[in-house]
Structure 1
Amino acid sequence: MADQDVDRTLTLLWRRTLGTPQGSRGPKQRVSVDDVVTAAIEVADESGLAAFALRKVADRLGLKLMSLYTYVPGRSELIGLMVDEVLGERELPALTGDLRQRLYTVARHQWDEAHRHPWLLQVDNSRPWIGPNGSDRYEWQLTAVEGAGFTDLEMDQIVTLISGFTASAAKASIEARQAVDRSAMTDAQWWEINAPILERVMPAGAYPISSRVGTAAGQEYSSIGDPQRSFRFGLDRIVDGLERLLER
């Protein structure tokens, strides 16, 4: 990526602060950068990131594909703008209560966000774009652990840990929901249909521990799993560990 594209994308990310003109060259644009980002988010919400293409965004806006490049440098840069826009679409909730309550608020906000926009979990965040909403988000996340007694490095690692765990849990939840939608049957219906073959390949006593645990889980969940319960359980165990770290 050329340096000029990096500079342009950062300028676009901070366009509302810098007052950057909408678009960069040619005649007066028919739409704005904001319009392009909004249309792109709608496309990603409908089709996911794997099928996301600039041509779909251009078609939605009634533009020619090449015209889109007068607004954004390319596909990956547009995705960066989309992510930052989504991070700011809802007000960050107040962080109140003890450490556990604050971290649960942080995680739950991300969980809800991922379920509104599942494509967020498909974005490569190895080197995220630094935009205003992303910067506000990081400051807010750090506020949840500020003053608890952690070092600055630990604070950064805690934010990374909570974010990574929540993304993984949300992905499992979304995939479970999508499996039901694709198959047009519930987990209970799937088990009922496939029980005869499973009984043949898994005779009684062949898997004693997993049979016992699986039966208990199935009776409790009435499903293959309970993503929300697993999310809460995992988050509680993470905070348990963080509290133990503070005690040490």
Structure 2
Amino acid sequence: MVRDEAADPDRVVELLWRRRGAGAEPRTGLSLDRIVRAAVELADAEGLAGLSMRKVADRLGFTTMSLYRHVPGRDQLVDLMSDAVMGEPAEDGRPGEGGWRERLEACARRSWELRRRHPWLAEVRGSRHVPGPNGVAHYERMLGALDGTGLAPAEVVAVVGLVSRFVDAEASLLVEAAETERSSGVSEAEWWGARGTLFDRLGDYPTITRLWEAGAYDRPVDPFGFGLARLLDGVELLIQQRYETRDEIAGCPECGAPVERPASGRPRAYCSAACRQRAYRRRRSSPE
């Protein structure tokens, strides 16, 4: 039965979207929330490679079969863990404010902060991980940051996917470095500091030498901040292009459908009254 549940995506949907705090065993105090917290602590310490149902059970002082009464398997547990940490409060406690760029950057930095706190998040790969309420709320914030920019709906989705993949790619480097340090017992700085035999051979490369002597490697830029800024520069250019051409090939900001340009009078922003009303209702209902 456990195997059948583990193969059923709808089962993990039920678990992810359950009411928090429900499902505790009165006699033992074991609950799904306790299992998830213990699993997060274990993955923080050992990465996903060190995560198993048996280790989580040992950490809680229960048998492995006790866990299976709450969660079908390890894969479903990882989905639950991911959504749990997505619900952690932001370090500064504030949502992104300002224009689309500031809000999208705040979302990206929030994702980066979580992956620095829980590096194993970057190891959760694949297209068939079921999202929970916290993950969906984060996705909604990212999409909402681009609402009203003039990008077509498919472009909004594509930009959010691009930014998310950039965050995961950068975070994967943290995972690799942490795993290497765990297995070798040697830090990155110590390992590279001992590569004198390599550095002695680099003097024949003039560009490397010039940059080295100029201090380029002593004062490196923050790779995440630099990459994110350049990525958002590209999105900003795309939005500007859409703005400059909106009269010629305008698209409805609500649905992306073409908006006919009138022969005279004020240009239309939306393709229909229905789209205009939907946009108005969303603005009115959005939190301040």
TM-score by length of structure 1 reads 0.82
SS in 2 for 1:67: helix
Aligned to 1:66: 65
Residues paired across the two proteins, number: 234
User: Aligned partners of 2:130, 2:176: CA distance in 1, in Å?
Assistant: 26
Aligned to 1:48: 47
Structure 1 spans left out of the alignment, 5+ residues: none
Aligned to 1:166: 167
Aligned to 1:209: 207
Identical-pair percentage: 40
Task: Map residues 65-214 of structure 1 onto 2, 5 A cutoff.
Answer: 65-90=64-89, 93-173=94-174, 175-176=176-177, 184=186, 187=189, 190-199=191-200, 202=201, 204-205=203-204, 207-214=205-212
Relative CO higher for 1 or 2, CA cutoff 8 Å, sep ≥ 6? 1
Structure 2 spans left out of the alignment, 5+ residues: 242-288
Contact 1:111/1:170 (8 A) holds in 2: yes
Contact 2:177/2:188 (8 A) holds in 1: no
Aligned to 2:244: none
Q: Which amino acid aligns with 2:84?
A: E
| Greater radius of gyration (CA) | 2
CA gap 1:192/1:69 in 2 versus in 1, 3 angstroms: closer
Displacement after TM superposition at 1:174 (Å): 5.3
Aligned to 1:242: 235
User: Aligned partners of 2:57, 2:185: CA distance in 1, in Å?
Assistant: 32
CA gap 1:235/1:22 in 2 versus in 1, 3 angstroms: same
Bigger share in helix: 1
Displacement after TM superposition at 1:114 (Å): 0.3
User: Aligned partners of 2:191, 2:35: CA distance in 1, in Å?
Assistant: 42
Aligned to 1:6: 9
TM-score by length of structure 2 reads 0.72
Query: What is the aligned-residue RMSD (CA, Å)?
Result: 2.7
CA gap 1:31/1:162 in 2 versus in 1, 3 angstroms: same
Displacement after TM superposition at 1:185 (Å): 5.4
User: Aligned partners of 1:33, 1:167: CA distance in 2, in Å?
Assistant: 27
Displacement after TM superposition at 1:90 (Å): 1.6
Aligned to 2:265: none
Contact 1:44/1:119 (8 A) holds in 2: yes
